[in-house]
A and B are shown apart, each in its own frame.
Chain A
Amino acid sequence: MGEVRIGVYICHCGTNIAGVVDVEEVRKYVEGLPGVVLAKTYPYMCSDPGQNLIKEDIEKGLIDRVVVAACSPRLHEPTFRRVLREAGLNPYLLEMANIREQCSWVHMREPKKATEKAKDIIRMTVAKARLLSPLQPVEVPARQEVLVIGGGIAGITAALDLANAGFRVYLVERAPSIGGHMAQLDKTFPTMDCSQCILTPRMVDVARHPNVQLFTNSEVVGVEGFAGNFKVKVLKKPYYVDLDKCTGCGLCVDFCPIEVPSEFDVGMAPRKAIYIPFPQAIPHVAVIDPEHCLYFMKKKCMVCEEVCQELAAGAIDFSQQPEEVELDVGTIIVATGYDLYDPTQDEEYGYGRYEDVITALQMERLLSASGPTRGEIVRPSDKEKPKKVAYIQCVGSRSLRPGHASYCSRVCCMYAIKQALQLKEKYPDIDVCIFYIDLRTFGRGYEEFYWRAQEHGVRFIRGKVAEIWRSRNGRLVVRAEDTLTGRVLEEEFDMVVLSAGLRPSKGTEELAALLKIPLGPDGFFLEAHPKLRPVDTVVDGIFVCGTATGPKDIVDTVAQAKAAASSAMALLSRGKIVIEPFVAAVDEDRCRGCGRCEEVCEFGAVAVEEKDGRLVAHVNEALCKGCGACSVRCPTGAIKVRNFRPEQIRAMVSSVAG
């Protein structure tokens, strides 16, 4: 390798960098560094003229290595790589020196020291750049199948878009039926479509689609691999019913002697130990709940089997075992939704103590024409029609108290207004009162929806409720301050509905660990960038959508699901995936085949194999993450991560500490 000729380009980033770091001083200093042949500053290096500056210097033959001292490589490294490629230079002869996020932004009040630190950062980067080698990106074929985890409206929508585009989709749903929360809702704001009427056809479409394979009552238990080539293990839990034979007639359900609270009706009605989750369930089959079934608990009963054998399809099969299936997929979409906050811990509201204090999801079941009361609103305690109903907003949300969430759950203002309107429409003389802190009606048509509720006479009281108790006559007393008049009020109601917030769904942490994707401080999956990459995760090939990334209404959930489907398509449609070449490479002459690299690699990416009569290490470039653990362990220095070689790291260290 002859003498290198490095060009250093120092960005002002407007005043982001130049407002703190004396870029001209840095430029003069950098000019004198070994290997540097020119150093320039420019207001915005990422702009067109900024990029051209580099391009022209390369094309004139002035430089053969580039250092851009600007923002984080996460932001613009790809941009500048492209500039090198377009100018005819190998794109990997570029190094970024981060003097914004790691310097000017964090040392805003110490311009002198920041300037010195910028010099240090660039000196290190130049030291590394002197030893860069040209590389070629690694290409691997991408599988054309997609795994969608979660069968709520988000998962169903993403699966359908992908299937219609010709990709094979595996849809994995933990519950015995797809549908998610939307299946439990009655009508939906802001248009008041009946939830089932718009959801059920989509459920049927996805189930019947030739490109979709459903795995209900199933969970993802293992994930390995990388974008384009994931290997996934799915655990199918038994229904104890043969899905091919069961006709969903429900005879077994009628005869089963065991009753437990129904999950679907959120405890507002019972279900049996063998049950069909809800009338529109898909698959529309019976499932046995082994935690309550007499056969599984005490080895007796088996009435369902008898009934089904004698009168129906002979579908019951107590001997079914869990089954593990392995799937190969190119991308994964996470759409695991939310759980409703359980307000039992908020003792001041008496949920769980007073029957007539219910959550809004329970109210959805009462409102639903196919619900346990066929749409009649009755007080749970005495089955009477309530004359006065109160809604309490922000239950478990917007609060720093232990067990609460600091965020706003986004949908509860709107769903409370929706239910209030429905109550008013069903029973015009009912009195509905909403106790709120702030009302958040931000979407298209949402404020107008609020307006409609006001027109119908729904009362809105601005004050967070402090306490609910039951008076002697059995009615519930709500105490709050009407902050707009400064008066404390105590008012009796027949029912109180808690507008409970949205929480990450159970199992989110475990799934995040399997997929190696991070969670936000709120416990929901974290997107790669809230604005620019809202459905990507930091792991290539894994996308996330809907309420899995935080509270959302159906409108936003579906928009994200469609975005995730398109992003998955964009990744797979080229048929191959390009991987950065920063992976381990073996110098076979030096390798002694000792296998220590194989021992330390966490990703199973190195293996010692026989080659031409002797043992040498071999790297699977698609699996290697470039962590460098092997390089540290190798006794002969035969295995090194490309462009992160020990001599480069040493050069960087000695340039600051040497």
Chain B
Amino acid sequence: MSSLILDMREADPKFKYRVKAIPGAEKLTVCFQCGACTPDCPVAKRVDIFRPRRIVRLALFGFKKRLFSDNLLWLCLGCFGCTEMCPQGVKPTELIEALREIGAEEGILPPSIKDMMKALLSTGRIHRITKARERTRTKMGLPALEEPNMEELEIVFASSGLAELVSGKEEK
């Protein structure tokens, strides 16, 4: 985990350009580390190492190992609180999404996410729908759930490379 000395040999100065090329993450390099994004972040309130500001910093310096460890990137709830506060238009929410994309491209996915993907691929849903839930739906007057279209899902999984990610290829 975090040590007091940053070993700059671990930093990849070119990483930021790869991140900036992803739509939504273009403003990565203009973060001036003001910290406005952090105090209202619901995750930062509970997890010490999670600071949107810190994630931006790590991405800027290219500390990939730290970024992609501790499931850091996957803790974000996507609430957009940080994005609303940021005076520099950095959009940490979208930046984090971009970083997840890069992680996924490199085969770095936390097991919980992999499990979710596997469930999606096999059942067509992320969550299991219990009988009790279905009853609640009917009670509330909601229409019955449609059966997931597995054929379409498979095409999406195959063409986006998700299938490969989920099925075997281990972390690099």
Give chain A's interface residues, CB within 8 Å of chain B.
348, 394, 398-401, 404, 437-438, 462-467, 479-483, 486, 488
10 CB < 8 A contacts A-B: A348-B85, A394-B87, A398-B32, A463-B34, A464-B87, A466-B39, A467-B39, A481-B51, A486-B54, A488-B38
Query: Is the C-beta of B58 less than 8 angstroms from some C-beta in chain A?
Result: no
Residues of chain B contacted by A404 (CB below 8 angstroms): 87
Check if B120 is an interface residue, CB within 8 A of chain A.
Answer: no
In contact, A481 and B39 (Cβ under 8 angstroms):
yes
B88 in contact with A400 (CB, 8 Å): yes
Q: How far is the CB of B159 from chain A (nearest CB, A)?
A: 37
A479-B87 contact given A464-B34, A488-B45, CB 8 Å threshold:
no
Please tell me the size bucket of the interface on B. 10 to 19
By Cβ-Cβ distance, the 5 closest A-B pairs, closest first, are A399-B87, A481-B35, A464-B36, A466-B39, A464-B34
User: Which residue from B33, B44, B89 sits with its C-beta under 8 Å from A483?
Assistant: B33
B44 surroundings in chain A (CB, below 8 A): 481, 488
Residues on B facing A (Cβ under 8 Å): 32-36, 38-40, 44-45, 51, 53-54, 85, 87-89
- The answer on a CB contact under 8 Å between B39 and A483 is no
Query: B35–A463 contact, CB under 8 A?
Result: yes
Shortest B3–chain A CB gap in Å is 14
Q: For chain A, what secondary structure do more than half of its interface residues adopt (helix, strand, loop), or is it mixed?
A: loop
Instruction: Point out the residue from B35, B51, B54, B89 that lies within 8 Å of A464, measured CB to CB.
Output: B35
CA distance A437 to B31 in the complex (A): 11
- Given the known inter-chain contacts A400-B87, A486-B51, please indicate yes or no for A437 contacting B39, CB distance below 8 A: no
- Given known A479-B39, A481-B39, A481-B53, contact A400–B34 (CB-CB < 8 A): no
- Check B40 against A479 for contact (C-beta < 8 Å): yes
Contacts of A401 in B (CB 8 A): 87
Q: Residues of A contacting B53 with CB < 8 Å? A: 481, 483
Docked Cα-Cα span, A464 to B51, in Å, equals 14
Query: Are B39 and A398 touching (Cβ within 8 A)?
Result: no
**What CA separation (Å) do A331 and B50 show in the bound complex?**
60
A400-B89, A404-B87, A466-B85 are contacts. A480–B35 as well, Cβ < 8 Å? yes
Q: Which of A438, A480, A488 has the most CB of B within 10 A?
A: A488
Which B residue sits closest to A490, measured CB to CB? B39
User: Contact between A438 and B39 (Cβ–Cβ < 8 Å)?
Assistant: no
B32's closest neighbor in chain A, by CB? A437
- What distance in Å separates the Cβ of B151 from its nearest Cβ neighbour in chain A? 45
Question: What residues of chain B lie closer than 8 Å to A348, measured between beta carbons?
Answer: 85
Q: Which residues of A contact B39 (CB under 8 A)?
A: 463, 465-467, 479-481, 488
Contact B87 A466 (CB under 8 A): no
Q: Given A465-B36, A488-B44, list of 9 further CB < 8 A pairs?
A: A437-B32, A437-B34, A464-B35, A466-B85, A479-B40, A480-B35, A480-B39, A481-B38, A483-B33
Closest CB-CB distance, B26 to chain A, in whole Å? 13
Chain A residues near B54 (CB-CB < 8 A): 486
B163 CB to nearest A CB, Å: 39
A399–B30 CA distance with the chains assembled, in angstroms: 11
C-alpha spacing A467/B84, complex, angstroms: 12
Which of B33, B34, B85, B88 has the most chain A CB within a 10 Å cutoff? Answer: B34
